[in-house]
């Protein structure tokens, strides 16, 4: 047989497999047939029910056909009716148009007859009303109507009469208004102002009326400025007289807008306040510049700015001492006046913006035209002389405030003194009083950019100049002068005999160091409180800030975090100074005394040791003596940091001396007790947690207090009772080898 042919057995297996598959399919088909046969009675019943419904369905079909015919008939009728209604509406519209044209012709005749009489009787309101009715007519339809009627000449004559009357009335009203302004006749001014819009002279009326108001504003402003210039120095308002003058100008303009806005809206319609304000703003620009120039001259701003600039240029020069510096106190009142002037300007601008934008919003329904008008107004205000004056005021303010802050803080540092009842010196309170005052004053300008600039200046002064002062005092170090009693007595006697006892200098240096350290800690609290209070005050002063402005402010305030970071670095530096000059020289010999005690105790030796003064008792007594000397002089936070540094030094040193010792079981027990006692004492001495610092030492004591080497498995590993070890396996074995009763082979065999 060929190799590719299947064997008989394989063919038989294939046939049997196919047979089995066919049997399975047969069973499935049989099940399906059974299911169908089972459902046969149910299906037969349903078919019977459907047969019963057939007559009803036939009736429904016939009714549906009838309904369709009915709907089609109604639809056709509706179309016919709609067409007739449309034709009727069209006819009605033509009738209304015809009636309107007839009414226009009638009114045209009445107006043409009445306007001349009104002019002759000087009844300008009535004449203007006739002209207004004429102007409200569609002139194209009017001409077309005139050509359609029989009496064309009369209609055209009426049109010409009204056109001539309109021209005549316009001239009369303009002349009468000018005459009323010249005579200060307020009644006539208001009378003719109301007539302008009836004659289609809206822009002319607003312009003429606002020019009159400009004159009133200018007169009042000039009078107020003269009063300000001649105000004697002894007057209590002299220091803010120009701010008062500027305020009077803004209040006058605001009153003009408030009083006359209803008049404009009533007779000219909404949306025209923009035109009126633009005219008034030109006078405002003229007057604010005059007031500003007089203020610059009277307050000698240019001279002061030059002097400050020269001071900054010459500060690093040897001839600096010859230059007279401006006392910051002399600038305090001036800076207050500038902030007041800027704030009043800001309030006025906000008021005008609110009024005009609200009027535009109501008066211009088209969205695009409304947006264009709003943008046009905003741009005109940004380009105004008032906006330039605000910018100049803010520039002068920022320069003067920066100088005031820097000089005042330098003065506070130079005049620093320590009250024996206080842990900090005067310069901390003085400095942050100055900083808070300057920032609050910047908030009163109402300008976010100015506020952020002053906050940044404050951050720079605190972070650089002020922190440098604290750092320089700490760099001088803390004179330890640590001696034991015998050494101290010998040095004291020698110093007295040689006449060079200068303990006062040392004590002053210590006090200066401690005070500087406390100052740094106190400053961190001041900075946090300052940041919180400033944020609240700014949000209250500028409630309308958008998301971008909020982000800008938060970014600016985050600069204070760098000040806090610098202060914490200074505190850490100071604590490290104390650690090297105070803690280490004392703690090392105290802890090294551990080596003087043998920890190979017998029961009898242990009893004697515990009955006497133990190592830990002596150590705690010495530590308490050291801590008590700093507890009252350091701030709470600094004292906790000092205790933390002390704890680090004690635990590290004790770990080293333990490695130099050897222990038996009783010695390990004593060590464990003493470590626990030491940890309890230091924990009670501070509000900070020292558990982490004692972790290694506690585990060392635990290892040395084991009864057997194998017990370490109860503490080591990943099971529930295991510790989180700070010791590495090699370190753990090294400490276990300090137990003289543990076999080194057993320790080395440990698998950790």
Residue in 716, 718, 736 with CA at minimum distance from that of residue 726: 716
Phi, psi angles (nearest 5°) of residue 479: -65, 110
105 and 30 housed in the same domain: yes
Residue by residue, DSSP assigns 488-514 as HHHHHHHHHHHT---HHHHHHHHHHHH
Query: How many CB atoms neighbour CB 55 within 10 A?
Result: 9
498 pLDDT exceeds 70? no
Residues 547-574 pLDDT 10s = 899 999 988 988 888 899 999 999 999 9
Provide mean pLDDT across the span 101-122.
Answer: 65
Provide mean pLDDT across the span 271-275.
Answer: 90
Provide mean pLDDT across the span 634-640.
Answer: 94
Q: Of 133, 161, 193, which marks where a domain is finished?
A: 193
SS3 assignment, position 739: strand
In this prediction, residue 428 has a pLDDT band, given cuts at 50, 70 and 90, of: very high
Residue 29, in any domain of the structure: yes
Q: Where are the alpha helices (DSSP H) in 269-327?
A: 273-299, 301-314
Q: Are 407 and 325 in contact (CB under 8 A)?
A: yes
186 and 284 housed in the same domain: no
The packing angle between helices 186-195 and 202-229, to 10°, is 150
305 and 396 housed in the same domain: yes
SS3 assignment, position 663: strand
Burial of 695 (0-12, 13-18, 19+ CB in 10 A): middle
Give the pLDDT of residue 559.
Answer: 84
Give the pLDDT of residue 171.
Answer: 86
585 pLDDT exceeds 70? yes
221 and 155 housed in the same domain: no
Q: Are 483 and 495 in contact (CB under 8 A)?
A: no
Give the pLDDT of residue 722.
Answer: 67
SS3 assignment, position 423: coil
What does the H/E/C string look like for 116-178? Answer: HHHHHCCCHHHHHHHHHHHHHCCHHHHHHHHHHCCCHHHHHHHHHHHHHHHHHHHHHHHHHHH
Burial of 286 (0-12, 13-18, 19+ CB in 10 A): middle
* Rounded distance between C-alpha atoms, residue 84 and residue 297, angstroms: 84
Report the DSSP beta bridge partners of residue 739: 663
Residue 451, in any domain of the structure: no
210 and 174 housed in the same domain: no
235 and 143 housed in the same domain: no
Burial of 131 (0-12, 13-18, 19+ CB in 10 A): buried
Provide mean pLDDT across the span 128-136.
Answer: 70
Dig out the tokens for 283 from the structure: 């006078």
* Rounded distance between C-alpha atoms, residue 411 and residue 430, angstroms: 9
141 pLDDT exceeds 80? no
Give the pLDDT of residue 492.
Answer: 38
* Rounded distance between C-alpha atoms, residue 561 and residue 546, angstroms: 24
Q: Are 341 and 249 in contact (CB under 8 A)?
A: no
The number of residues in the chain equals 752
186 and 83 housed in the same domain: yes
Distance from first CA to last CA of the chain, Å, rounded? 72
* Rounded distance between C-alpha atoms, residue 376 and residue 373, angstroms: 5
Residue 303, in any domain of the structure: yes
Instruction: Quote the percentage of the chain above a pLDDT of 90.
Output: 49
The packing angle between helices 186-195 and 152-182, to 10°, is 150
Report the DSSP beta bridge partners of residue 425: 418
What average pLDDT does the structure give for the chain? 85
Residue 537, in any domain of the structure: no
In 3-state terms, the chain is what percent helix, strand and coil (to 5)?
80, 0, 15
Residue 101, in any domain of the structure: yes
Residue in 686, 682, 660, 666 with CA at minimum distance from that of residue 604: 666
* Rounded distance between C-alpha atoms, residue 33 and residue 27, angstroms: 10
* Rounded distance between C-alpha atoms, residue 202 and residue 365, angstroms: 19
Give the pLDDT of residue 259.
Answer: 92
Residue in 646, 661, 654, 659 with CA at minimum distance from that of residue 676: 654
Which of 88-92, 111-115, 294-298, 371-375 is modeled with the greatest confidence? 294-298
Provide mean pLDDT across the span 266-289.
Answer: 93
Residue 476, in any domain of the structure: no
In this prediction, residue 455 has a pLDDT band, given cuts at 50, 70 and 90, of: very high
Provide mean pLDDT across the span 705-719.
Answer: 82
**Total number of domains in the chain:** 3
Give the pLDDT of residue 517.
Answer: 95
Q: Are 682 and 647 in contact (CB under 8 A)?
A: yes
Residue 536, in any domain of the structure: no
Phi, psi angles (nearest 5°) of residue 663: -135, 150
**Cα 293 to Cα 225, 302, 558, distances in angstroms:** 11, 11, 38
Q: What is the largest CA-CA distance in the chain?
A: 148
Provide mean pLDDT across the span 210-238.
Answer: 93
Instruction: Give the predicted TM-score (pTM) of the model.
Output: 0.74
Residues 305-353 pLDDT 10s = 999 888 877 764 543 344 568 889 989 999 999 999 999 999 999 999 9
Residues 1-47 pLDDT 10s = 444 445 777 788 888 888 888 888 888 888 888 888 888 888 788 88
* Rounded distance between C-alpha atoms, residue 259 and residue 280, angstroms: 14
Q: Of 374, 392, 414, which marks where a domain is finished?
A: 414
Q: How many helices (H) and strands (E) does the chain have?
A: 27, 0
131 and 213 housed in the same domain: no
658 and 744 housed in the same domain: yes
Query: How many CB atoms neighbour CB 138 within 10 A?
Result: 12
Residue 380, in any domain of the structure: yes
Residues 144-166 pLDDT 10s = 555 555 555 566 666 677 677 77
Residues 166-212 pLDDT 10s = 788 888 888 888 899 998 888 999 888 888 888 888 889 999 999 99
Comparing 90-94, 489-493, 656-660, which segment has the lowest mean pLDDT?
Answer: 489-493
Report the DSSP beta bridge partners of residue 599: 663
How far, rounded to the nearest angstrom, does the alpha carbon of residue 127 sit from its chain's CA centroid? 61
152 and 262 housed in the same domain: no
* Rounded distance between C-alpha atoms, residue 8 and residue 13, angstroms: 9
211 and 189 housed in the same domain: no
Computed on alpha carbons and rounded to an integer, the radius of gyration of the chain in Å comes to 50
Q: Of 193, 228, 245, which marks where a domain is finished?
A: 193
Give the pLDDT of residue 516.
Answer: 94
* Rounded distance between C-alpha atoms, residue 324 and residue 308, angstroms: 10
Output the domain CATH number for residue 693.
1.20.58.1970
249 and 388 housed in the same domain: yes
In this prediction, residue 109 has a pLDDT band, given cuts at 50, 70 and 90, of: low
**Cα 552 to Cα 390, 444, 461, 562, distances in angstroms:** 21, 18, 20, 17
Domain range for residue 269?
A: 201-314+324-414
* Rounded distance between C-alpha atoms, residue 15 and residue 22, angstroms: 10
8-state DSSP, 743? -
């Amino acid at each position: 047989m060929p190799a590719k042919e299947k064997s008989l057995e394989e063919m038989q297996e294939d046939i049997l497999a196919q047979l089995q598959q066919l049997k399975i399919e047969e069973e499935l088909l049989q099940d399906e047939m059974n299911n169908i046969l089972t459902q046969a009675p149910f299906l037969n019943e349903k078919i019977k029910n459907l047969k019963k419904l057939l007559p009803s369905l036939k009736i429904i079909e016939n009714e549906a056909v009838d309904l369709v015919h009915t709907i089609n008939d109604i639809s056709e009728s509706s179309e016919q009716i709609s067409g007739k209604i449309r034709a009727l509406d069209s006819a009605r519209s033509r009738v209304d148009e015809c009636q309107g044209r007839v009414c226009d012709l009638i009114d045209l005749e009445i107006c043409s007859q009445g306007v001349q009489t009104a002019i002759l009787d000087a009844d300008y309101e009535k004449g203007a009303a006739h002209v207004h009715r004429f102007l409200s007519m569609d002139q194209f339809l009017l001409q077309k109507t005139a050509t359609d009627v029989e009496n064309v000449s009369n209609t055209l004559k009426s049109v010409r009469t009204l056109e001539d009357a309109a021209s005549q009335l316009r001239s009369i009203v303009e002349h009468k208004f000018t005459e009323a302004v010249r005579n200060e006749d307020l009644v006539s001014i208001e009378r003719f102002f109301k007539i302008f819009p009836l004659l289609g002279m809206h822009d002319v009326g607003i312009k003429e009326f606002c020019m009159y108001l400009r004159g009133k504003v200018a007169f009042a402003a000039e009078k107020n400025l003269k009063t300000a210039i001649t105000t004697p120095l002894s007057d209590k308002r002299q220091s803010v007289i120009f701010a008062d003058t500027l305020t009077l100008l803004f209040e006058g303009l605001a009153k003009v807008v408030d009083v006359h806005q209803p008049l404009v809206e009533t007779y000219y319609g909404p949306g025209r306040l923009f035109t009126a304000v633009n005219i008034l703003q030109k006078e405002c620009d003229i007057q604010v510049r005059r007031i500003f120039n007089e203020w610059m001259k009277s307050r000698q701003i240019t001279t002061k700015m030059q002097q400050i600039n020269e001071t900054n240029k010459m500060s690093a020069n040897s001839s600096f001492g010859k230059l007279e510096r401006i006392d910051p106190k002399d600038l305090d009142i001036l800076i207050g006046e500038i902030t007041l002037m800027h704030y009043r300007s800001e309030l006025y601008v906000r008021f005008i913006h609110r009024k005009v934008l609200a009027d535009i919003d109501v008066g211009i329904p088209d969205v695009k035209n409304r947006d264009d008008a709003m943008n046009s107004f905003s741009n005109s205000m940004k380009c105004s002389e008032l906006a330039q004056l605000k910018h100049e005021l803010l520039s002068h303010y920022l320069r003067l405030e920066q100088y005031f802050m820097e000089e005042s803080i330098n003065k506070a540092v130079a005049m620093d003194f320590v009250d024996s009842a206080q842990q900090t010196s005067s310069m901390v309170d003085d400095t942050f009083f100055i900083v808070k005052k300057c920032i609050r004053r910047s908030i009163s300008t109402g300008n976010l950019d100015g506020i952020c600039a002053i906050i940044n200046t404050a951050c720079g002064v605190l972070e650089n100049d002020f922190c440098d002062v604290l750092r320089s005092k700490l760099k001088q170090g803390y004179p330890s002068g640590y001696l034991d009693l015998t050494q101290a007595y010998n040095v004291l006697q020698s110093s007295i005999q040689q006449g060079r006892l200068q303990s006062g200098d040392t004590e002053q240096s210590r006090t200066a160091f401690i005070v500087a350290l406390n100052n740094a800690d106190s400053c961190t609290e001041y900075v946090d409180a300052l940041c919180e209070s400033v944020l609240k005050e700014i949000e209250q002063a500028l409630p309308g800030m958008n998301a971008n402005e909020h982000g800008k402010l938060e970014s600016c305030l985050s600069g204070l975090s760098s000040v806090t970071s610098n202060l914490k670095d200074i505190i850490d530096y100071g604590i490290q100074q104390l650690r090297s000059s105070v803690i280490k020289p004392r703690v090392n010999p105290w802890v090294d005394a551990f080596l003087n005690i043998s920890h190979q105790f017998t029961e009898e030796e242990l009893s004697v040791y515990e009955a006497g003064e133990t190592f830990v008792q002596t150590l705690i007594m010495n530590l308490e003596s050291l801590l008590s000397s700093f507890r009252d002089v350091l701030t709470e936070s600094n004292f906790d940091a000092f205790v933390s540094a002390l704890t680090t030094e004690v635990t590290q040193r004790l770990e080293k001396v333990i490695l130099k010792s050897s222990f038996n079981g009783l010695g390990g027990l004593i060590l464990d007790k003493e470590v626990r006692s030491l940890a309890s004492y230091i924990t009670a001495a501070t509000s900070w947690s020292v558990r982490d610092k004692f972790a290694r030492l506690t585990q060392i004591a635990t290892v040395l207090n084991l009864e057997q080497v194998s017990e370490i498995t109860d503490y080591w590993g990943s099971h529930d009772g295991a510790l989180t070890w700070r010791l590495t396996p090699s370190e753990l074995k090294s400490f276990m080898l300090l137990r003289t009763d543990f076999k080194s082979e057993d320790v080395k065999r440990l698998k950790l």
